[in-house]
Each structure stands twice: as structure tokens, then as C-alpha cells.
A and B are shown apart, each in its own frame.
Chain A
């Protein structure tokens, strides 16, 4: 299949793996973070880590959109879903994220009208089909997803839809990376940069990583050879004493991003002073809210919600997993009390979550043997 086969060629993979071996210094440990959950998924699906030397470690970053949603926001969404005459809409994985007293899926089972959508446009269509009900869309995701929400609000205004509201939980990618780099328990040698987020924001916003923290970053695609080549490019920078932003995913990512998307984001959203990230705590200017210009669509202005910060369950170590401090199998409840069927933590819900990726591709058994 075009667009796939050339990025899954085993022979090219072997060539890249051997180049990687030549680039690493024996005795030195390299710790690289793949920022995006899509990369985590590819790494375990295709066994990319098995092709790397033992002293090159891949750790998983915070780039899984549902994994970073704190429990309090789930509770707020459930409170809205229980309001009379509300149809509450959200993406599929989000329905299974546990709040302090169950998930949206549990609330649906209790009678709340909660519907799964593939896109904000689907939610708007539901609003148009139900003019006597209020339809709330639970918006999540990074800059990849936020433009879709923004365009849908613009379309709602253009079409005069007055019963469509958005509970905005969109987040931005740069502040958590800065928080990770400032964290004293992190020692990273480089980053595999997010691919699809970068189609919107471009590669330029990551320039602070080499300029301020002297770490290389390579924006990468999601096929196995994309990820392997990005690792090779990072290690080559280190070997040659360079430190810069490189774009492995040039076939899709323009260095300057998508200007139209950035303009729409600036029109419809504004930065929150703080936003809570699961496992990372409150990060300044890392979350988006609906701007004054689009206030009539803001579900948080229409409905009062608990707005209470809820601590994660004590047994759950998603925070350490999201910061790359521990591997999923090192969490005490991984694969026992916490499974994809009955998740305790967010990282076990989405297929892009590090714990789910480990679990689904057999890393549970293999890593346990090593331990």
C-alpha cells in the first residue's frame, strides 16, 4: 500500500538499526522521550524498541490526549451530562476515563443522555437535529484537535445554532514539555517530537528545547521507519555535538505550521492562566478556554459544575508514567487491578496510552520476566 509500505520496509529498518548501533557510545545511557501517544503505540505495536541497543531507552511522554485529563474535569463533565434536557457528547475513549465516582459510560448507564461522536461536527449535527435540547460537546485534545472544535463553533455561529455548547479541555503541547525539562527528576537526552500536533503548530515552537535546554528534538511521523529514523537523527545530533530542531515528517509537517489553523485557534480560544494535568499538576498557560468573542458557546458559563480538584487514586501511578519516571509495568496495579477492560488510570484507557500499549502488545509478560 502506497504511503505505508515504504515506511515499513524491514531491510531499511535493519540498515537504520545498524546505523544507530554505530552512533551510540558504549557505556553511555541515552534516554529519549517520545512525546506523542501515537509514537508510543507504534513503538510497541512494531517492536521498535527491540531494534535499539540496550543503552538507548525510550520513555513515554504526556502526549496522549485523554491520559492527561484530571479526574475533577471528568466529574464536571458528568455533572453537566446529568442536567435536564442535556445531550452530552464526547469522543469514545473519553467515555471510559474514570472520575471520582465512575466514568461517563457509567453515567450513561444511569440514564444520562451521553453520546459518542467522532468529531465536533457530529456533535453539531446532533444539536441541529434536537433543537429543543442543549447539546454539550466535551472537547479534549492538543492543537491537533482544537482547530476542529474552533471551526465547529464558527460554523455553529454561521448557521445560527443556539443550543450547541462546548466544555473546553483543550491543552497545548509546549508548556508540559517545558515543565518536564524543568523537573528535577528528569534527565532526558532528546525528544521524538509530535507529528500531528506539528502539522498545526509547526516545528518552530520547539526551538526552545535546543536553545534553552540544549537537547535535540526531531519531529517524526508514525510509521515504524519514521520513528526509527527520528531516533537515528537524534543520536546523530548527539554524536556530532549538534543540538537543533529537525523535521523528519516533512512530507506532512511544514516548519511554520498551518497558519489558518493558528488564526482560528487565536480567534476562538484564549489561554487559561493555569490548567491541571493528570500527573503533572497545574501548568501555567497550558490549557485553552473559549474566548469572550465566542462566550455564548461556553458550557462552563451556562452550567455550574463542582469544579473540585480530585486527587488520583493512591494505587495509580499514571503521573510517574506520564513523566517517564517509571515504566508502565513498574506500577503496582498494572495488569492486575488496572486493565484496559477495567482501568483505574487514564494511561490504561486509550490505545495511545503507555500502559494500554504495553498491555495490548504483550509487554506485560515480557517485562515481568525481566523484573
Chain B
């Protein structure tokens, strides 16, 4: 079972909802499971689960741009969050 980080990305109305705002976020892939879900990390070390079916195979260390829990684009190597 995947364990989510308690500080994972959330939709917070007090601080603006990134999903409602049509905002996408840069993430780094940590692990990928066989069902097409990837555990990812943002630049602050927060973890979230992302659907990667739209961008093809990804591997740990790859960068992606995610919106509403789904990766919508891959990022060039130099733009992957550290």
C-alpha cells in the first residue's frame, strides 16, 4: 500500500487552490508502480501520487508537469526539481 506524506500537496482554499487555478507543478518521480501511478516529490520534498498514463513510461528521477494528480507533460532533465 502506498503511504502518502502527510504534508502532501493539497487543495487549500485559504492559500489558493492550484487545481482550480489551472496551475501545473513540476515534480520528480520517486517510484512507479505497475498500475501507472507514480509517487512523486516536489522541490520542497512533499510527496503525492500522480497518474502518468498520458506521458508514457517514466522512471525514478524523471521530471514531469502535473495538474490535478495527472502528469500532462514531461520536463527536460535540467528542469527536474532537485
Within 8 A of B (CB), among A12-51: 36-38, 41
A205 to B67, CA, bound (A): 21
Residue of A nearest to B14 (CB): A92
| Interface-lining segment among A116-124, A280-288, A303-311, A315-323 | A116-124
Q: Which secondary structure dominates where chain B touches chain A?
A: loop
Give how many A residues have a beta carbon under 8 Å from the other chain's beta carbons: 51
Measured between beta carbons, the chain B residues less than 8 angstroms from A151 are: 51, 53-54, 70
A152 to B21, CA, bound (A): 20
Report yes or no: B54 in contact with A119, Cβ–Cβ below 8 A. no
Report yes or no: B20 in contact with A121, Cβ–Cβ below 8 A. no
B13 contacts the other chain (Cβ, under 8 Å)?
Answer: yes
Of A1, A144, A222, which is within 8 A of B72 by CB? Answer: A144
Contacts A92-B13, A93-B17, A196-B23 given; indicate if A3 touches B79 (C-beta within 8 A).
yes
Interface string of B47-58 (1 = CB under 8 A from A): 011010111100
Measured between beta carbons, the chain A residues less than 8 angstroms from B34 are: none
Report yes or no: A148 in contact with B69, Cβ–Cβ below 8 A. yes
Report yes or no: B16 in contact with A121, Cβ–Cβ below 8 A. no
CB B46 to nearest CB in A, in angstroms, measures: 11
Measured between beta carbons, the chain B residues less than 8 angstroms from A116 are: 10-11, 13
Measured between beta carbons, the chain A residues less than 8 angstroms from B13 are: 92-93, 95-96, 116
Q: Which secondary structure dominates where chain A touches chain B?
A: mixed
Report yes or no: A93 in contact with B21, Cβ–Cβ below 8 A. yes
Interface string of B1-45 (1 = CB under 8 A from A): 000000001111101111111111010000000000100000100
Report yes or no: B22 in contact with A118, Cβ–Cβ below 8 A. no
Measured between beta carbons, the chain A residues less than 8 angstroms from B22 are: 36-38, 63-65, 141-142, 144-145, 194, 196-197, 352
Interface string of A105-121 (1 = CB under 8 A from B): 00000000000111111
Report yes or no: B17 in contact with A350, Cβ–Cβ below 8 A. yes
A141 to B17, CA, bound (A): 12
Of B19, B49, B73, B82, which is within 8 A of A258 by CB? Answer: B73
- Most B CB contacts (10 A, CB to CB) among A196, A251, A253 go to A196
How many contacting A-B pairs (Cβ < 8 A)? 143
A351 to B20, CA, bound (A): 9
Report yes or no: B67 in contact with A120, Cβ–Cβ below 8 A. no
CB A222 to nearest CB in B, in angstroms, measures: 8
A66 to B11, CA, bound (A): 14
CB A25 to nearest CB in B, in angstroms, measures: 34
- Most A CB contacts (10 A, CB to CB) among B48, B56, B72 go to B72
CB B67 to nearest CB in A, in angstroms, measures: 5
Measured between beta carbons, the chain B residues less than 8 angstroms from A350 are: 16-17, 20-21
Measured between beta carbons, the chain A residues less than 8 angstroms from B79 are: 2-3, 251
Residue of B nearest to A142 (CB): B22
Report yes or no: A119 in contact with B19, Cβ–Cβ below 8 A. yes
Contacts A92-B13, A258-B72 given; indicate if A144 touches B54 (C-beta within 8 A).
no
Report yes or no: B72 in contact with A196, Cβ–Cβ below 8 A. yes
Measured between beta carbons, the chain A residues less than 8 angstroms from B75 are: 3, 252
Measured between beta carbons, the chain B residues less than 8 angstroms from A92 are: 11-13, 17, 19-20
Measured between beta carbons, the chain A residues less than 8 angstroms from B17 are: 91-94, 350-351
Report yes or no: A147 in contact with B21, Cβ–Cβ below 8 A. no
Report yes or no: A261 in contact with B23, Cβ–Cβ below 8 A. no
| Seed contacts A94-B17, A258-B73, A350-B20; 13 additional CB < 8 Å A-B pairs | A3-B81, A65-B21, A91-B20, A92-B20, A141-B68, A144-B67, A144-B68, A149-B68, A151-B70, A222-B23, A258-B54, A260-B55, A264-B53
State the 5 A-B residue pairs at the shortest beta-carbon distance, nearest first.
Answer: A119-B69, A351-B16, A93-B20, A92-B17, A92-B11
Seen from chain A, the residues whose Cβ lies within 8 Å of a Cβ on chain B are 1-3, 36-38, 41, 63-66, 91-96, 116-122, 140-142, 144-145, 147-149, 151-152, 155, 194, 196-197, 199-200, 222, 251-253, 258, 260-261, 264, 350-352
Seen from chain B, the residues whose Cβ lies within 8 Å of a Cβ on chain A are 9-13, 15-24, 26, 37, 43, 48-49, 51, 53-56, 65, 67-70, 72-73, 75-76, 78-79, 81-82
Provide 8 A-B residue pairs closer than 8 Å at the C-beta atoms, listed in order of the A residue: A2-B82, A91-B20, A93-B16, A116-B10, A148-B51, A148-B67, A251-B79, A258-B72
